Amino acid sequence: MDSSDSTISLLQKKQKRTYYMWVIVFFLIIFTGLGGLYYCTLKIDYTWRWYRVPQYFFFHEEVEVRTTVDGQVDEIRETDEGTLVVVEGDDGEELQYSFSSDDVRVYEGDLLFAGDVLGTFHEWRIGILLQGLWLTLKVSFIAIIFGIALGLFTGLARISANPAFKWLAITYIELIRGSPLLVQIFIWYFVLGTLINTMIAQAGISQVPPLWFGVASLATFTGAYVAEIVRAGIQSIHRGQTEASRSLGMSYGQSMYHVILPQAFRRIIPPLAGQFISLIKDSSLLGIIAIRELTKATREVVTTSLQPFELWFVCALLYLVLTFSLSMLLQYLENRMIHS
Amino acid sequence: MIEVKDVSKIFMVPHQVNALVDVTENIGRAEVVVVIGPSGSGKSTLLRCLNRLETADKGHIYIDGVDILHPKTDINKIRAEVGMVFQSFNLFPHKTVKQNVSLAQNVVRKRSSGEAEEITMALLNKVGISDKKNVYPEQLSGGQQQRVAIARALAMNPKAMLFDEPTSALDPEMIGEVLDVMKTLAREGMTMVVVTHEMGFAREVADRVIFMDEGRVVEVGTPEHFFKNPTHDRTKLFLKQIL
């Protein structure tokens, strides 16, 4: 009895030791990788300038206030909102310029020409990286909404007995899944975009901006994959559920809406999450049709700042923030649906 | 009430099977008919043809005088009038017991939620499961689930009830509680067609027993005739095997 107990505890000890040894191995590999990377950048004399990165998120901009007319400075006065400069134009008209400033560059009685600087003030602006991040988020969000709608209808059409619906769905899904997204973006922008914009120009309506062709390409691309996910989800629901609901007198639509789809949705949330994460990452391709999303924004910043290492890491990290939050959100939804 | 005339059905997949061959049968109002037969004899197919879960290839089926195989017949209306209970219960797992029973009342019968609630609770009382009204099906035993399924079908005020091997998926100790509910229904004058292997139920409750084999009706008779003096050799063999 005693001897067998001690044998077991010895075995457990050994298993524990092995476990912690491999935990240490994990951290060793990670830190060696990072250290190696840093060492290599030292070897090529790369200077890390992380302090230059924040300005691409927010920056303090100096804004110049200029007079719009020729004339004379009539009065300079401090008010609650800052400095008020009153300019009397040559035609007798009085113009007031108000800004919060510690830097007024004119005196009362100065003669001015239109475009002369009256003073400057500082203002916080949103940097190009944050703008890009916002655009990525916006494009992805709209594309996801349209993608869900398109995927739901296509998925239902795919399993329909009606040959028109079914074959349309199959054609659409196969076309989209069989060609590269990059090519589809080009087709949307250069072919369909040209057609649509030329036609509506002839009708005298204003042009559709590239953003919407980007959204359309992502939405149609995602829709095809969502359709297959929806189809698999519906088909995974046992046939008895349809038979039970139909035998109660429910129509096909009622049975789908009340019985089949609510059950299917719980099962398709995990694969949908994966699809939406792909969509966010795929939106990085939209830079090629002049949509300044996160990747394109980073590329522009890299060309001006010449700090590619920091910026590409930051770019990747920002995508990670988006995809990770989305996956957390969907996990939360999934849990809530299971417990409700 | 239910008229079946020269009905045939052939399954092509996975291989050709003559599931029903020229079946003709009349089932009267308030009659309880038990269909028995070896597996693959077409008894379930016959039952499923009666509310068009399967479509007969040939022949006519009339429910209350309405030809359910006629293209102009609104099958959803017929199905609401004919309740069905399945071997595997097929309760809606995402809805509570109460919601399972009330869903089709709201959606198909368009009853107000107050009215549906009243009927639901009366039926749950009847099948003896009102204390589980807010529970999800997965938390119930097989017998309890089947009783909820019966209540769900009854909630439509059907003119007839079809039972497709309602006790075959149950543990032996739960068969009784389901059969008791069915016996009550039979006593109350419900028209019932029951596919089952429960010979005790057939003997006690059935007005008529139909024996099927290879898609054909081999023998029809009262339980006494059927269990004491079966005329057909195939019937005798079957009864010898199962009793």
A205 in a structural domain = yes
Alpha-carbon gap: B166 to the closest alpha carbon of chain A (Å): 13
Kindly tell me if the per-residue pLDDT of B25 is higher than 90.
yes
Residue A323: what pLDDT?
94
* C-alpha–C-alpha distance, residues B43 and B209, integer Å: 12
The verdict on A136 and A249 lying in the same domain is yes
A53 in a structural domain = no
| Facing A249 at nearest CB: one of B86, B90, B108 | B108
Residue A338: what pLDDT?
67
Residues of chain A where predicted confidence (pLDDT) is lower than 50: none
Residue A283: what pLDDT?
95
* C-alpha–C-alpha distance, residues B109 and B156, integer Å: 7
Percent of residues, chain B, with pLDDT higher than 90: 84
Long-range contacts of B225-228 (CB under 8 A, 24+ apart): B226/B202, B227/B199, B227/B202, B227/B203
The verdict on A189 and A297 lying in the same domain is yes
Whether the Cβ atoms of residue A72 and residue A88 lie closer than 8 Å to each other: yes
Its domain, for residue A200, covers 128-339
The verdict on A147 and A224 lying in the same domain is yes
Q: Which residues of B touch A244 (CB under 8 A)?
A: 84, 86, 90-92, 149
φ and ψ of A105, to 5 deg? -105, 10
Residue A317: what pLDDT?
95
Kindly tell me if the per-residue pLDDT of B186 is higher than 90.
yes
A27 in a structural domain = yes
The verdict on A236 and A167 lying in the same domain is yes
Residue A251: what pLDDT?
95
The verdict on A13 and A113 lying in the same domain is no
* C-alpha–C-alpha distance, residues A107 and A96, integer Å: 15
A148 in a structural domain = yes
Is this structure's pTM higher than 0.80? no
A54 in a structural domain = no
Task: Using a CB–CB cutoff of 8 Å, tell me whether B15 touches chain A.
Answer: no
Average pLDDT in chain B: 93
Distances from the Cα of B163 to the Cαs of A202, B43, B48, B84, B182, in angstroms? 67, 11, 10, 6, 9
Residue A335: what pLDDT?
83
Q: What is the mean pLDDT of residues B135-160?
A: 95
Q: Which residues of B touch A264 (CB under 8 A)?
A: none
Q: What is the mean pLDDT of residues B85-101?
A: 95
Task: Using a CB–CB cutoff of 8 Å, tell me whether B111 touches chain A.
Answer: no
| Facing B104 at nearest CB: one of A238, A241, A250 | A250
Count of domains for chain A:
3
Task: Using a CB–CB cutoff of 8 Å, tell me whether B84 touches chain A.
Answer: yes
Alpha-carbon gap: A284 to the closest alpha carbon of chain B (Å): 39
The verdict on A157 and A245 lying in the same domain is yes
Alpha-carbon gap: B151 to the closest alpha carbon of chain A (Å): 12
Q: What is the mean pLDDT of residues B20-44?
A: 92
Q: Which of A77, A102, A126 lies at the terminal end of a domain, its last residue?
A: A126
Q: Poorest-confidence range of A2-16, A313-327, B73-87, B140-154? A: A2-16
